[in-house]
Amino acid sequence: MRKLNQIAILFLMLVPAWGYSQYSLDASSSSLVVEGTSTLHDWEIEAEGMKGSASIDAAGKLEAVKSLSFTVVVDGLKSHKSGMDKNTYKALNEDKYPNITYTLKKVNGISDAGGGKFKVSTTGDLSIAGTTKSVDMDVMATVSGSTVKFEGNYPMKMTQFNIEPPTAMFGSIKTGDEITVKYTVNYKK
């Protein structure tokens, strides 16, 4: 009888996990761009090094997201202007904190947005330059075969993460504090 109870408990523990599949971030079809302003011109910098994983229940439509994370390598942020890249790495303290990470903490809701898209309300931890903050984001998700695409944008201030906005030319060129992170990340089975 005891063995039967143990089997029943094991079965009940495994049942919720059956619908979830493991996904990996497909860096080649994903993008993350940071846009900002300065006293000279608007600027953008793109992430060239991303990785991540997720546990998702999506059979034709998005049912649930059990876990999701991604990492951006700081020295993979590229503006194609070496001076700007160096200032970015310095501002992000890349020597000490080589990665920017996001870890989903909970899904607050999933609603059908029509056209095969789903609005996902999330709370997660974003870690930049040694500072971790809880962030709420509304994300659009699309399920297509073995791929789940998440896209959206997140406006923020650099100073929220204790980052001093970079300057150049002895302080005559100043970067604005407000930035927008625009992302399209594809997770594949």
Compute the distance between CA of residue 133 and CA of residue 141 in angstroms, rounded to an integer: 23
Supply the pTM of this predicted model. Answer: 0.85
Length of the chain: 189
pLDDT, tens digit (0-9, with 9 covering 90-100), for 95-152: 999 999 999 999 999 999 998 899 999 999 999 999 999 999 999 999 998 999 999 9
| Phi and psi at residue 95, to the nearest 5° | -60, -40
Compute the distance between CA of residue 23 and CA of residue 187 in angstroms, rounded to an integer: 5
Residue 18 is predicted with a pLDDT of: 55
Compute the distance between CA of residue 38 and CA of residue 44 in angstroms, rounded to an integer: 11
Beta strand pairing call for 77-78 and 50-58: unpaired
For residue 95, CA distances in Å to 23, 158, 167, 171, 184 come to 30, 18, 19, 23, 27
Banded pLDDT at 82 (limits 50, 70, 90): confident
For residue 97, CA distances in Å to 78, 130, 159 come to 17, 6, 16
175, 79 contact by CB (below 8 A): no
Banded pLDDT at 8 (limits 50, 70, 90): very low
3-state secondary structure of 10: helix
Angle at 70 between CA 64 and CA 75, to 5 degrees: 165
The domains found in the chain, sorted by start residue, are 19-188 (2.40.128.110)
